[in-house]
Chain A
């Protein structure tokens, strides 16, 4: 078998653009797990919800209100979807998830899993399971960019850069700001932080909203690349959980780095031995679990 360098580079770039989504989604999961101790199984469904906010905003909202010409564009959707879905998440946390913190992890996991099924079920009832194309892709990002070693879709390039920027900014806020210090302290000992006079329950709600907002942001970002489908989250989330396990549950840096790296590795595998492309992440997960059960960046 011969591999051309071009093919490998091309697949690696595509892999990186997938990895950018892994990174954003696993980052949200890691933040939520860190502070809430909840394994948010609804994360994929909320990613799907983000994509649907973009789709519905573009195709449906105008006609609903009698303005047939109105389309919520991609850029506004990039702001509106995380806010809407984040608020929905905070409502979910305040009214339901909060009651389960005193119990074992498994209850939060079951509740969020149930939510994922409900959301998928509702959207499957109204939308095509095999996907609806998103019409709002930004004009300015259509076409192809010459990277020197290959031609690459401009939009995918934008998605990679945008996700990495969001991940790095989030990392920076968590590791360097006062807000982040409160969050890190809350992860270690929420009761003591509360005893110092910080409203930890509110902090938990906002953190959940933020993590969920990241999922929705990824969803909007995905809409122009993949068609918007009620099951788009369910297909992705299993891989994302593997990424989180490899990076180390709750590790912010681990989530970002392993998200991008595993996307790359997946792309590389696609070039070298395509049949293994979908399983390679799980192979790595098994190896990591056997050698470093807490994950590459997790604390033992």
Chain B
């Protein structure tokens, strides 16, 4: 990826990368999100923290239209996407989504998984560079997706969306269940991507992983943002954060 890779068109540069206002979402009859508000500026890394079932994953899924019903406003680089069908949202918003269960297709090889999502912009990272970034994947490019270890699957899920040139990454629990050394490597990757100017929304349970990476933390409870914490405030509010995240 070149030095210029991270800049979107001038028109959208003034807009926040992602702006969510009064987002409500439903699965069937159950009302899961109750008015989420959050803003992510171009090039920022933010986290959505909270307990299981608080609505963090649902927030990501709502952005992509993967819930049964949603209301409110979601603007990506200035484009309103709340009424768009799922397959248009990725292109309009240059969104890269990494689901919690990683979504590696078992009937596809590593290479096929990597090439599956269509390109969203010309700023995609080349396959060669991705294989340098994640050397484990290169060695296993012809393996079936599910023959990979958890860490390798996670790297594949990340690599897959980086190839598309997505500018806004929605990453759901990427450290879950992985060995510390791999979590550390993922931290490096996130830092590297932030340097390249990508905008990243992390859903995390592992605050120690997220704290040094993020510009801002949103704590979500019962489908609402209950606290917004700038990275500079983390130390002062550590007591509070622990309280929100303790099970």
Contacts and interface: CB of A to CB of B under 8 A. Distances in A.
Do A and B assemble together? yes
Contacts of A181: 108, 112, 115-116
Interface string A45-56: 000000000000
A198 B107 contact: no
Given A191-B66, A191-B86, A197 B107 contact: no
B91 interface: yes
A272 interface: no
A200 interface: yes
B97 interface: yes
Interface string A185-220: 101110111111111110000000000000000000
Given A181-B112, A191-B86, A197 B66 contact: no
Nearest to A191: B66
B212 interface: no
Interface in B90-115: 90-91, 95, 97, 99, 103, 105-108, 112, 115
B120 A182 contact: no
A188 B87 contact: no
A292 interface: no
B106 A188 contact: yes
B87 A199 contact: yes
Most A Cβ at <10 Å: residue of B85, B88, B103, B115: B103
Interface in B35-88: 64-66, 85-88
Nearest to B111: A181
B153 to A, nearest CB: 14
Given A185-B116, A197-B117, A192 B87 contact: no
Contacts of B95: 195
Given A178-B115, A198-B87, A192 B108 contact: no
A189 B105 contact: yes
B131 to A, nearest CB: 18
B188 to A, nearest CB: 25
Nearest to A185: B105
Most B Cβ at <10 Å: residue of A178, A184, A187, A196: A196
Contacts of A184: 105, 107-108
Contacts of A191: 66, 86
Given A181-B116, A184-B107, A192 B99 contact: yes
A181 B66 CA distance: 22
B90 A192 contact: no
B116 A195 contact: no
Contacts of B107: 184-185, 187-188
A193 B115 CA distance: 12
Contacts of A200: 86-87
B108 A195 contact: no
Interface string B113-145: 001111010000000000000000000000000
A185 B108 contact: yes
A192 B103 contact: yes
B173 to A, nearest CB: 15
B118 A196 contact: yes
Nearest to A182: B116
B117 A196 contact: yes
Nearest to B105: A185
Contacts of A185: 105, 107-108, 116
Contact of A195 (B97, B105, B112, B115): B97
A182 B164 CA distance: 15
Contacts of B99: 192, 195
B116 A197 contact: no
Nearest to B112: A181
B57 to A, nearest CB: 13
Nearest to A196: B117
A165 to B, nearest CB: 24
Contacts of B103: 189, 192
A196 B97 contact: yes
B214 to A, nearest CB: 23
A195 B103 CA distance: 11
Nearest to A34: B107
A208 to B, nearest CB: 18
Interface of A: 178, 181-182, 184-185, 187-189, 191-201
Given A195-B90, A199-B87, A200-B87, 10 more contacts: A189-B103, A191-B66, A194-B87, A195-B66, A195-B99, A196-B118, A197-B89, A197-B91, A197-B120, A198-B118
3 closest A-B pairs (Cβ-Cβ)? A197-B90, A196-B117, A184-B107
8 contacts: A192-B103, A195-B89, A195-B90, A195-B97, A197-B87, A197-B88, A197-B91, A200-B86
